[in-house]
Amino acid sequence: MPPDTSEIEREKLIAALKREGLDVTRHKLLRWVDAGLLPRPRREGLGRGRGSRSYYPQIAYLQARTLQRLLTDKRSLDEAGWGLWALGFPLTDWVRALLVDEQGEEYRLLKREFQAARRGRSEVVEAATQSTPAKAFRPWRKVIRAEAMPQFLDMVMAFQLGGWQAEKYSTNQLNQFQDIVVNDYFPSLRDDEGLPEPPEFAPELQAVSSRISLPKVLEGLRSVNNQTLDKYRNEFQWLTVRFTPSEERDKAIMDRGDFITFFKWRHIDPDGEAGIAVLMRSQGLDRPPPSQLDRWITGLRKLQQREESQ
């Protein structure tokens, strides 16, 4: 049986990659397949005692080439796999499992720390209340005294877990929470006299906590279909490239943590669909962007067509 023209035999794949200066061996290909980062090849027997040949889908050439270059940039397999998906390669199930695993671990650690804090045995609270606090807490300590940090951290963790309840906190504690949020995310509003008072913003914060908590993120990641998750990927990767300096765009890969923040807004927030449309139009785009892989393939086909017509 002749090989399918949409496939490439393993030795030819390795040779093509070597011509690009990429040291990809048979062992590497097998390791990448086992890791779920390359499509599994089709094996074809050559007859009794003559062994077999392996045929990869043609996309494996671009995928292996990109993967090797991502790994050369000192990325781990997980980071390289994320990069492949960000660029448009078909690894959506793999990425979903990665995100669910990471967010699930974050949820378990946060819940454990939250319970420990309420029992007065939290390492996080201890690190935040020392005379010289851990680096991550120093910006907060500029706004909140050490003795007020345990209650503030309780508010932060409850907010992330989805159990934030406004009535549990005093007006002063709510004001401190607002001060931190403004200081971290909206510094230009620090001296704005129009900032809402606790009775105004507390109910909305409670609703937001319930809507975009870690359990809700996990639920969303598990239930969103592949086509929709790929659409979100294309949008956020396009925005990442758009806002990266031009000299660095060829290596721009969206950050995983930033993608989760985008996912909360895009998928969970009721205003996400309308919001992304407004944002994209403001950047000159009036339709969903294709993946970078689709743009590469389109460009290659156009080049091939021009060469054939000459």
pLDDT band at 51 (very low <50, low <70, confident <90, very high): low
**CA atoms of 241 and 164, how far apart (whole Å):** 35
Query: Where exactly are the structural domains of the chain?
Result: 7-74, 97-217, 224-309
Q: In the prediction, which pLDDT does 281 show?
A: 94
Mean of pLDDT over the chain: 89
**CA atoms of 147 and 130, how far apart (whole Å):** 10
Q: Is residue 22 over pLDDT 80? A: yes
pTM: 0.87
The residue that leads in pLDDT, 150 or 184, is 150
**CA atoms of 218 and 260, how far apart (whole Å):** 10
> pLDDT tens for residues 246-270?
999 988 999 999 999 999 999 998 8
Q: Is residue 7 over pLDDT 50? A: yes
**CA atoms of 73 and 64, how far apart (whole Å):** 14
pLDDT band at 1 (very low <50, low <70, confident <90, very high): very low
What is the rounded average pLDDT of the residues 35-42? 94
Element (H, E) at 54: strand 52-57
What is the rounded average pLDDT of the residues 289-310? 84
Q: In the prediction, which pLDDT does 47 show?
A: 60
Q: In the prediction, which pLDDT does 15 show?
A: 95
Q: Which one-letter amino acid corresponds to residue 221?
A: L
DSSP letters along 150-199, please?
HHHHHHHHHHHHT---GGGS-HHHHHHHHHHHHHHH-GGGTT-TTPPPHH
What is the rounded average pLDDT of the residues 40-61? 80
pLDDT band at 46 (very low <50, low <70, confident <90, very high): low
Q: In the prediction, which pLDDT does 178 show?
A: 81
> pLDDT tens for residues 87-119?
999 999 999 999 999 999 999 999 999 999 989
> pLDDT tens for residues 188-235?
777 777 888 877 888 888 888 888 899 999 999 999 999 999 999 999
pLDDT band at 68 (very low <50, low <70, confident <90, very high): very high
- Both tokens of 129, joined, read 């209340």
Q: Is residue 69 over pLDDT 80? A: yes
Q: In the prediction, which pLDDT does 11 show?
A: 93
Q: In the prediction, which pLDDT does 102 show?
A: 97
Residue 215 backbone class (left: φ over 0; alpha: ψ -120 to 50; beta: rest): alpha
What is the rounded average pLDDT of the residues 39-54? 76
